[in-house]
Structures are given as structure tokens and as C-alpha cells.
A and B are shown apart, each in its own frame.
Chain A
Amino acid sequence: MTRPLQLLAIAGVLLLISVISACGSGGGAESQPSATETPSSERVYRQASIMQQQADRVSEQLDAEEEQDGSVSEHRDAEASGEDAEVMASGSIDFGHRIGLPFSRNVVGDPDAPVLFVEYSDYQ
């Protein structure tokens, strides 16, 4: 995305240079003497140089923004990993006689169910 912008800026600068040059050299009787053409060209090149620098700054800024977006995306990915861990501890049982029932770790069934059975037991 930044490269096309940069190329567009450069193309714009080159177009500007060619237009100004054309005006300066094709002026006929109204054109300035050749002695004054050199300073005019220098101004054009300085202007072109300034525009190029501005284009470079814009490009660098866009690159920096893209980099920042990338770090934000990674951060979101990290958050998503945390969410995944939570999701792993809950969901829907996919085996046995409780298949299809929602669960959250050691609780199974509809969280809004009006009756709560709590079994206190020991595997041993």
C-alpha cells in the first residue's frame, strides 16, 4: 500500500517537472532569456526535492503505522489465545451420556437452570 503511494508521489513530481520545463522552454517571445532558465530549473528541482522528501516522510509514517498495526494484531492474537484457554475449559461435551450438554469445567448443564445439584465426592 505504501509503495504505490510513493511511486505515485514520484510520478507526480516528475510530471510537475516536465510541465514546468515545457512552459519554460516553449514560451517563444514571452520566454525568459536563457540566463534566467538555470535559476528557474534549480527552483523546480529544489521544489521537487522537497516534495520527494515529503513523500518519503509520508511513506515512513505509513510504514510505521503498518508496523504498529501489526503489533496490535499480535496483541489481539495473544488475547485470543487467552480466550481460547477459557473456551477450552467450557463448551459442549462431545462424548458419553452427557453428549451435547454445555459445561464449564466442573459444572454441566444450562447455567440458568433453576435447580443446582452439587455432588461432593471422592474418586478413591
Chain B
Amino acid sequence: MLDELVRSGIARFEYVHFLGHGGPSVFAAMSTECAGDQGAWWSFHDHYMTTNDFTRDSAVALAASLELDTEQFGQCLDEEAHLDTVNASHQQAREAGVSRTPTIHVNGEGAATIGEALIEQVLALANELGEG
């Protein structure tokens, strides 16, 4: 549903890290950001949405499978180059009033968790835009 709205040009989608589970959350978020340095942000994002393996080895293996520069990627991880980035994301989430995940905001308002409420909200917005 969201993808269709994005593809139609009505909406864009932003993902913000919420670090709710300490180390693994931080590592996965930093890995995604390090991959983002090489254009693979969404590849890592999609991977971490479907796995619970948050080890360095698996991250480097994924980077290698995507033909990223694994040396650069590993260095980025080891130096925690994006620690500030992910902490800033978490802070953004806190300031937006997020306390549980996943949470989606639509145009900065009307917080909704993923589910029927969100779909109804999206459809209402789409209708408003269509009528406008």
C-alpha cells in the first residue's frame, strides 16, 4: 500500500532508527548507515527487516554479496562512524513522541501504528489529495 503511494508520486517514505533494544539495535542501524555510504542503505534495511542475525560477520558477508567495498564497510563499523547518525535518529523519534515500534507518522501528524488504522489514514489522505 505504502509502496504504491510512493510509486505513484503521492508519497515519499522515510525510515528513522528507533534504538529500543540496545546493542543489536545500534549495530544493525549503524550497519545500514555504513552500507548507505556505498548506496546500499535499502538493501541492508530490507535484510534487517527479515533477520535476527546482527553479527559483524553476517553484515560483512551481506556487504560482500552486494559487492560493496568490504574493507571500507568493516572500517566504518569498527570506527562506529555512524554512531552519532543513529543516535540522532533515535533522538528524532523520541522528540516525535515515539514510544513503541513500529510507528508511522503521516505529514508529521496523526501517529498511527502499522495496521488497519494506518491504512484507513492513508486512504483518507489519498482521497483528499485526489479531490484536491
Assess whether A119 is in contact with B36, with CB atoms less than 8 Å apart. no
Number of interface residues of A (CB under 8 A): 32
User: How far apart sit A87 and B24, CA to CA, in the bound complex (Å)?
Assistant: 29
Q: Which of B2, B17, B42, B54 contacts A93 (CB 8 A)?
A: B42
Q: Which of A97, A107, A124 contacts B12 (CB 8 A)?
A: A107
A95: B residues at CB distance < 8 A: 43
Q: Is there a chain A Cβ closer than 8 Å to B37's Cβ?
A: yes
How near does chain A come to B101, taking the closest CB pair, in angstroms?
5
If A89-B36, A120-B18, A123-B28 touch, whether A106 touches B9 (CB-CB below 8 Å) is no
Assess whether A121 is in contact with B15, with CB atoms less than 8 Å apart. yes
14 A-B residue pairings within 8 Å (CB atoms): A85-B37, A87-B39, A89-B41, A93-B42, A101-B6, A103-B42, A107-B12, A108-B42, A117-B5, A117-B14, A119-B16, A120-B101, A121-B102, A124-B24
